[in-house]
Structure 1
Amino acid sequence: MDLQKGQKLKLSELSPSGKVTVHVAVQMRDGEADTTCFGVDAEGKLSDDRYFIFYNQLRSPEGAIVMESGNDGTTFSMDLDNLPDTIQKLVITVAADGCLMRDIASGIISLTGGALSADYTFSGDQFNQERALILCELYKKDHIWRYSVVSSGFNGGLDALLAYFGGEVAQPQNPAPVPVPPPVVPKVNLSKISLKKSGDSHKIDLHKNSGEIHVNLNWNAGKRGLFRGGAIDLDLACMYRLKNGKKGVIQALGNAFGSATSEPFILLDQDDRSGNSVGGENMYFKRPEQIEFAVVFAYIYDGVPNWRSTDAAVLLQQQGAPDIEIRIDNPNSQERFCVLASLSGSSGHLEVKREDRFFSGHRQVDDYYHFGFRWVAGHK
């Protein structure tokens, strides 16, 4: 069914189970847009920042809200009956990044429960100087979950939305001490660096930002035709060379998962063969200061090599530093191996560079980056 601005409905009309999805697709004429979900209390405030679902926090603690982003938009999978009683409303928003809401070429919100769906379409013609929108709300009234199309413009961006709901953007440095402790306000780190083009890079200061680097690979296994005929097996891996000259490969193939407590101090946590794991695959560089050079790559072990259909993305995280995002969005390559990033260590820094290079196999990756391994057949 098609909905109008201001229209309301009971969610039981779509899904008696309380499980629904909200899909938001926004095409911008210029810039980008970030879609988020605020889980607020009866006062309309973000009293628990774990229920602010956005690009740095993709799920609520119990998994009742899970966010997935891909080339066709952002999807929130919701199990409303599994939310704590403190969460009385879920607010879906979209905020501009380098543009205004009037730059929206087209947009749609699709609420789905079971076999039924309700859609609302919108465009930038309805707005002027606004930098964010409150798109819709799922709220509880008289113990019944309901849905409302809001589509209301908001003058500020994502940080202003966060403040509106009672949160605060975390600052990179601690503020100066004050004699009286301020009220407790949820603080959220909105910083993110997207390496969008091959050769884009960012330096991590290992003196300032110490500790492990967490590399997460996640992809969508449930909404593309590619996966209906059998789940794809997309693997995270790396080739490394330490400053002491030792080198090797970390990957599920051959059970070379590495170690967190001994050299190379690089650990791969699991082999997610379907992409159904909410956490995806994770690699931890426990002592990044020991890296001389490494390449982080993903390869399609099983399935048709179609990178666009995977909606895959890699996120590099380190406490005290902005998250670094690299999306696999090259639509042309039919090769199975994609080198996502290189890590180059020197003088207390680690430079992360987007590679965006595709190869047919391990040996071709090795030949290009000159590690000099001897290769034999392996399996998992």
Structure 2
Amino acid sequence: MELQKGQKCKLTDLTEDGRLRLSVAVSLPAGEADVTCFGVDGAGKLSDDRYFVFYNQTRSPEGAVSMEQSGRTTAFSIDLGRLPDFLQRLVVTIAVEDGTMQALARGTLLLEGGLGQASYAFSGAGYRQEKALILCEVYRKDGIWRLSVVDSGFNGGLSALLAHFGGEEARPDTPAPSPAPAPAPAPAEPRVNLTKISLKKSGESHKIDLKKNRQRIHVNLNWDQRQGLFSRGIDLDLACMYRLKDGRQGVIQALGSSFGASDQPPYIRLDKDDRSGASVNGENMDFFRPELIDFAIVFAFIYEGVPNWRATNARVVLSQQGEPDIEVHIDNPNSNERFCVLASLTGRDGGLEVRREDLFFNSHRAVDAHYHFGFRWVAGRK
């Protein structure tokens, strides 16, 4: 079913059990687009911040709405039967970080259920200064869930959308001087942290303060799947070389089945080997005891396929609960080498400095030689 702007339809035509997959693909010539889902009440307000599903919070409390990102596509898995009664509407929005929605070359909304699918094509034509748009709404009327295609521009960006739906953005506190003792403050209302940090140039860095937050650091590598009729997609692997503060060092990678461990040294674990990019979750690695890291590098290499990094649209995100995500995109179009060192992690002064490396090499040995780990290398296979 091809939808038109302003069209409404019953979701019972698409799903029998209330489970849906709503995907939004956005093509911009430059910059990024943030696709989000607001779960709002009967007054159209985000009365519970936990139902704002976005890059820093990818799942609602009970899992009724969860978000996955792969390349330019953001997908929401929705189970309407698990949504709490106070939620009357799910609002899907798109916001750009740089520029306006006018630069949107092409976009696609795809809704899939067990009984069928519906799609809607849109673009930035007709928009001017708007930095966001409300794409569609999934809403409850007369006890029946329906879809409405909105495609309406919004002058502000993601922060303004959050305010529009009644949410509050977390900002650094600026305490005012107090001449006299003040009464104990009331418990603070939950605030949404919209901050994310993009390391865009080689050498840029951000420090994670481990004195106040020693929770695990999660690393996700994702890339575009590009498969032909008679060819597999690119096999891109996530890996790291590490040195702990006690002097122990090693390599975590799928090659040689060196997946690491979560409950003993090195407290680093690679979860799987995605050989084609078909998994929307990509490849994932966790640093369970980041305070033990003396130095580590996070790198990716093309195990199979033509070494063309531009074609992969690969990106890595480092996340820690309660802190902004740190993003590194592999966007160097001039390298034909198979190995790319994305970031280094250096332990110092009670923290972990994450630095964009953006360096390309032709082998494990060359990576090792540059960073002076001193490993002995033998041929290995997956």
Q: Normalization by structure 1: what TM-score?
A: 0.80
Q: How far has the Cα of 1:40 moved from its partner?
A: 2.0
Q: How far has the Cα of 1:178 moved from its partner?
A: 6.2
Checking the alignment, whether the CA contact within 8 Å between 2:70 and 2:281 is kept in structure 1 is: no
Checking the alignment, whether the CA contact within 8 Å between 1:337 and 1:359 is kept in structure 2 is: yes
Q: How far has the Cα of 1:162 moved from its partner?
A: 1.4
Comparing 111-120 and 224-233, the one that deviates more: 224-233
Checking the alignment, whether the CA contact within 8 Å between 2:217 and 2:290 is kept in structure 1 is: no
Q: Distance in 2 between matches of 1:353 and 1:103?
A: 31
Q: Distance in 1 between matches of 2:336 and 2:80?
A: 40
In the other structure, the counterpart of 1:119 is 120
Checking the alignment, whether the CA contact within 8 Å between 1:239 and 1:249 is kept in structure 2 is: yes
The percent of aligned pairs where both chains have the same amino acid is 54
What SS does the aligned partner of 2:171 have? coil
Q: Distance in 1 between matches of 2:44 and 2:230?
A: 40
What SS does the aligned partner of 2:25 have? strand
What SS does the aligned partner of 2:133 have? strand
User: Structure 1 residues 128 and 195 mapped into 2: Cα distance closer, same or farther (>3 Å)?
Assistant: same
User: Structure 1 residues 48 and 111 mapped into 2: Cα distance closer, same or farther (>3 Å)?
Assistant: same
Q: Indicate yes or no: 2:242 matched with 1:237.
A: no
User: Structure 1 residues 271 and 110 mapped into 2: Cα distance closer, same or farther (>3 Å)?
Assistant: closer
Query: Which amino acid letter does the alignment assign opposite residue 161 of structure 2?
Result: L
1:284 corresponds, among 275, 287, 293, to: 287
Query: Which amino acid letter does the alignment assign opposite residue 116 of structure 1?
Result: Q
Q: Normalization by structure 2: what TM-score?
A: 0.80
1:10-48 CA deviation, whole Å, 9 max, x = no partner? 122334443333333334466433111112233322233
What SS does the aligned partner of 1:364 have? helix
User: Structure 1 residues 347 and 109 mapped into 2: Cα distance closer, same or farther (>3 Å)?
Assistant: same
Query: Which amino acid letter does the alignment assign opposite residue 94 of structure 2?
Result: V
In the other structure, the counterpart of 2:59 is 59
1:190-246 CA deviation, whole Å, 9 max, x = no partner? 11011234x14223054765424513224368x753699778765432112345544
Q: How does 1:96-135 map to 2 (within 5 A)?
A: 96-113=96-113, 115-125=116-126, 127-135=127-135
In the other structure, the counterpart of 2:206 is 203
Q: Indicate yes or no: 2:250 matched with 1:217.
A: no
In the other structure, the counterpart of 1:192 is 196
What SS does the aligned partner of 1:225 have? coil
Q: Distance in 2 between matches of 1:94 and 1:116?
A: 21
What SS does the aligned partner of 1:130 have? coil
Q: How far has the Cα of 1:133 moved from its partner?
A: 1.5
Q: Distance in 2 between matches of 1:178 and 1:276?
A: 52
Checking the alignment, whether the CA contact within 8 Å between 2:106 and 2:121 is kept in structure 1 is: no
1:336-373 CA deviation, whole Å, 9 max, x = no partner? 54322112344555432223344454323213322110
In the other structure, the counterpart of 2:22 is 22
Query: Which amino acid letter does the alignment assign opposite residue 14 of structure 1?
Result: L
What SS does the aligned partner of 1:168 have? coil
In the other structure, the counterpart of 2:317 is 315
Q: Indicate yes or no: 2:218 matched with 1:181.
A: no
- Number of equivalent positions: 374
User: Structure 1 residues 47 and 303 mapped into 2: Cα distance closer, same or farther (>3 Å)?
Assistant: farther
Q: How does 1:1-380 map to 2 (within 5 A)?
A: 1-28=1-28, 31-113=31-113, 115-125=116-126, 127-173=127-173, 179=184, 181=186, 185-197=189-201, 199-204=202-207, 206=209, 209-212=212-215, 214-219=217-222, 224-225=226-227, 234-259=236-261, 263-264=265-266, 266-268=267-269, 270-273=271-274, 276=279, 278=281, 280-284=283-287, 286-288=289-291, 290-299=292-301, 312-318=314-320, 321-329=323-331, 336-348=338-350, 350-378=352-380
Q: Distance in 2 between matches of 1:172 and 1:106?
A: 36
User: Structure 1 residues 358 and 205 mapped into 2: Cα distance closer, same or farther (>3 Å)?
Assistant: closer
Checking the alignment, whether the CA contact within 8 Å between 2:27 and 2:72 is kept in structure 1 is: no
Q: How far has the Cα of 1:168 moved from its partner?
A: 1.5
Query: Which amino acid letter does the alignment assign opposite residue 117 of structure 2?
Result: L
Q: How far has the Cα of 1:131 moved from its partner?
A: 2.7
Checking the alignment, whether the CA contact within 8 Å between 2:95 and 2:131 is kept in structure 1 is: yes
Q: Distance in 1 between matches of 2:71 and 2:361?
A: 23
Query: Which amino acid letter does the alignment assign opposite residue 190 of structure 1?
Result: L
User: Which consecutive residues of structure 1, in runs of 5 or more, have no partner in the other structure?
Assistant: none
Q: How far has the Cα of 1:150 moved from its partner?
A: 1.4
Q: Distance in 2 between matches of 1:347 and 1:379?
A: 39
User: Structure 1 residues 258 and 4 mapped into 2: Cα distance closer, same or farther (>3 Å)?
Assistant: closer
Checking the alignment, whether the CA contact within 8 Å between 1:170 and 1:187 is kept in structure 2 is: yes
Q: Distance in 1 between matches of 2:284 and 2:229?
A: 18
What SS does the aligned partner of 1:169 have? coil
What SS does the aligned partner of 2:161 have? helix
User: Which consecutive residues of structure 2, in runs of 5 or more, have no partner in the other structure?
Assistant: 177-181
Cα-Cα RMSD = 3.7
Checking the alignment, whether the CA contact within 8 Å between 2:223 and 2:315 is kept in structure 1 is: no
What SS does the aligned partner of 2:341 have? strand
Q: Distance in 1 between matches of 2:173 and 2:280?
A: 34
Checking the alignment, whether the CA contact within 8 Å between 2:56 and 2:324 is kept in structure 1 is: no
User: Structure 1 residues 155 and 55 mapped into 2: Cα distance closer, same or farther (>3 Å)?
Assistant: same
Checking the alignment, whether the CA contact within 8 Å between 2:253 and 2:270 is kept in structure 1 is: no
What SS does the aligned partner of 2:324 have? strand
Query: Which amino acid letter does the alignment assign opposite residue 122 of structure 1?
Result: S
Q: Distance in 1 between matches of 2:228 and 2:341?
A: 22
